């Protein structure tokens, strides 16, 4: 059944294009395994 789906997802990233009157997308790393944290955790804000 997976072949019946077409993925049109757009990758999200800080600074991506947004409508002029809307706040921008912001992705902030809260925890990072590379810094010694126990998990990778990000905060995603989209207005």
Contact 41, 30 (CB under 8 A): yes
Is 0.75 surpassed by the pTM of this model?
A: no
Q: Identify the pLDDT of residue 1.
A: 61
C-alpha 7/C-alpha 12 separation (Å) is 14
Q: Identify the pLDDT of residue 47.
A: 74
Q: Identify the pLDDT of residue 3.
A: 78
Taking the CA atoms of the chain, what radius of gyration do you get in angstroms?
15
Give the tokens for residue 3.
């072949």
Sorted by where each begins, the domain ranges of the chain are 10-45
Q: Which pLDDT tens digit goes with each residue over 1-47?
A: 667 899 999 999 998 998 999 999 999 999 999 999 999 999 999 87
Q: Which residue has the tokens 């789906």?
A: 5
């Amino acid at each position: 059944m997976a072949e019946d789906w077409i993925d049109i997802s757009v990758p999200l990233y800080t600074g991506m294009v947004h409508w002029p009157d809307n706040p921008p997308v912001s992705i902030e790393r809260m925890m990072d395994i590379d810094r010694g944290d126990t998990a990778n955790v990000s905060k995603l804000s989209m207005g």
